[in-house]
Amino acid sequence: MDRIIGAIVAVVLGLLALAGVALMGSTGFSGDKSSKVASDITQTVTNARGQFVQSSNGYTNFTTANIGSMITAGIFPTTMVRNNAVVDQWGNSVTLANSNNATVGSITFGGGGSETAKQCAAVVNALKDYVSLTVGGTTFTPTTQPDAVTAGAACNNSLSITLAFQ
């Protein structure tokens, strides 16, 4: 009888340990996606600055309509390109635009995939060197950068992020 009870306890403890490992793996994967999104967007901004700003047109051609040509030019990390379209790590379509007489480019991502408010807040806090970062009706600037509370509040309102850069 003791042997049977011992076996049952061992199985239950094994299942609990397995559940704990799965939970830790899921949490780690979630954080990894957030850092990949931030890294992909940062690399896109760096590449766009290098290939657009130096031309007399500025960011005139930095639009969603020109994504195919920008993929060919290497503006986007390969992890963002799927079937000749650009998506973030969560599977959301990425849209591009320009403003301020084509002196500012903007990238909109997030908002419709499998991301969580926690992942959104992690991305918002990781992004730097922008003109503005708009999330859920809240706009952050270099002088009003997000912290954990403001990023979390903005991401609770919307998961869509728009980063404007020069």
- Residue 139 parent element (H or E): strand 138-140
Inter-residue contact 93 to 86 (CB < 8 Å)? yes
DSSP state of 93: B
pLDDT string in tens for the chain (166-residue length): 666 655 565 454 444 444 444 334 344 444 589 999 999 999 999 999 999 987 889 999 999 999 999 999 999 999 999 999 999 999 999 999 999 999 999 999 999 878 999 999 999 999 999 999 999 999 999 999 999 999 999 999 999 999 999 9
What pLDDT shows up at residue 8? 61
Inter-residue contact 110 to 88 (CB < 8 Å)? yes
List, in order of start, the domains of the chain with CATH numbers: 36-165 (3.30.1690.10)
Q: Given strand 160-165, what is the order of strands in its sheet?
A: 95-99, 104-110, 160-165, 132-135, 138-140
The Cα–Cα gap between 2 and 153 comes to 54
The Cα–Cα gap between 155 and 143 comes to 19
